[in-house]
A and B are shown apart, each in its own frame.
Chain A
Amino acid sequence: MHIPDGFLDFKTLLVTNVISYTFLFYAIRKVNKQLNFYRIPLIGVVSTVIFVVSLISVPVIGGTTTHLTGSVLTAVLLGPYTGSVVMFCVLLLQAILFQHGGLLSLGTNFLNIGITGCVLGYLVYKIYPRHIFVVICCIIAYITGAIFCVAELYFSNRLVHGTIFSLGMMSITNFVTGLIEGVVSFSVLEGVKKIRPDLLNKEMLV
């Protein structure tokens, strides 16, 4: 869930932004050093597809909507560091074009969605690198993101009452979204494997 500007206090924003941007600059250095030039068209296409897919809203409880993020799919196709940079760009565009998340809370949302999806999701995927396992990676990434989100709201004194209830509710919502995203990511990866298996070359991942 994207946190808009104004929901978190200054100290929480500062801490999460410092963590996220430090990781982002490390990821950019890795990408600049190790990226294979043949991957450039794939990066462009994957980032655009992820951005366009995120425009499609999926209704959830309480009249609210959610959308797929594609972070684990990006990490499996491009690698965790390139995936993180792509997710940062997608989140930046979502923030400035649709106000899905704010500019000041961009680092926070990058931590909740981008880093958990691309790094944590990819690390879990590395344990058992089969496409079907992507479903579990997505669920884990989404629930971790929800825990981070509730923790950030709690440390900003926004969830003084009913924190455990909020955590439970966000986890349920994110479990459903993670499951949907996992199934879609699995089908896409299987489709890519059948038609263009060269895109899944693990040696080129950064």
Chain B
Amino acid sequence: MVMVCYQCGCHLSEQDYCTSCGADVSLYKKILSLSNFYYNEGLEKARVRDLTGAIECLEQSLKYFSRNVEARNLLGLVYYEIGECTEAMSEWILSMNVEPKKNIASDYMQRIQNNPTRYDAMQQSMKKFNQALEYCRQGSKDLAVIQLKKVLSLSPRFVKAHLLLALLHIDNEDWEKARRELNKALSVDRGNTQALRYLSEVEKMLTPDDIERNEKRRKKEDSVRYQSDNELIIQPGNLVEGTRSGFSMVLNIVIGMILGAAVMYFLVFPSNQKITQEEANKNVQSISEQLDSKTNQIQQLQNQITTLENAKQQLESELDAYEGTQGRLKEMDQLFVAASVYLETKDVNQTAQKLDQVRENVKLEEQSEEFLSLYQTLLGLVGPELSKSYREQGYVSLRAEDYDAAIESFTKAVYYDSNNAEALLNLGDAYRLKDDSVNAIAAYNKLVELFPDTDYALKAGNWLGRLDGMED
């Protein structure tokens, strides 16, 4: 390190004052010498890979003189070597700030920046290490181990990661793995006191002198461990076979059998019975559900049968009405026969006979509109002529003093032609001559009412006066 005057910046000589400005630099030179001394110490330690020691010396050097560029650059290099890349970069940046020109730190920085893969690996390893540390603090040690292995695949010389992984292996009592990690850490940093301390503990666990000591611990954990080549064998303590006498072995077997039988009797059999009973209950429940379902189905079917029977009865009654001797089909047939007779023969008497049969057998008030329409049409076609015929028959019977026959004929005449006033008058006459004054008055009154201003009405009025006088 070149010493310069703190006042004028000139190079200092062997004198205790500045040869340029005359400032007293004796103490200042001592300070710089101390800084230089620690730098040299650090350099020596770094050369023998005591990197922890080197870091301590170089930091000390920088405490004396922070502008010691060589010390800072070396400190950065040592940090870089142990995987502390960000620390290294910080040192180099500070160094470049002190000495911007002809500084190897700028070369280091350039190399890092020119290798993006390495730069990215550095970033990732830092993040993953911090994540692993967080996992450790949260108690997720398995995850931490996985994460640390990733870190070390990215940065194999990351001493802090080796140490943490070793600590996790120690905690897991995986001594061999811990030793392997510690050796890796020490191969990078030979003077790492933390690694050395861990290793001494691990070695104690693995050296034969400590078997007895380990036994105490193993007994506590009820397990047996022994070293076989590079593997640590862990065997549960309850599998260790001691020297037992034949009697105790037989006794133990007998006790075991009794216990086994007891377990079978008290636990297994009731359990099986319970299982069987549960299965039976399930079957019963299933059958019961099926039975309920069938019962519901039967009930539904019975309801359907009842409904269908009712419908059947209704249909049968309707069918009887249509098909019976008194049924509507018969009635229709009779009316069709009457219509057919009239259309084919134009014979009024035959048609009248058929219409009479219809009138006798059919309740007209219960018939359909179409039936009545056809009936009235036929009646209108044959009625007047038929009425005239019946009136003539009645008149013959009246002349023969056969009043009953006359009344019957006149009634039909009036029926077939309600406008036949003469027939109505003759009907009243027939009743009157038969001395049936009640029906006679009824017939005359009807005539007076229906045909008021006719000669028939006048005659009927006369007879009404006489009959009233006779009754009085």
Instruction: Decide if A and B are genuine partners.
Output: no
A residues sitting closer than 8 Å to B (CB atoms) are none
B residues sitting closer than 8 Å to A (CB atoms) are none
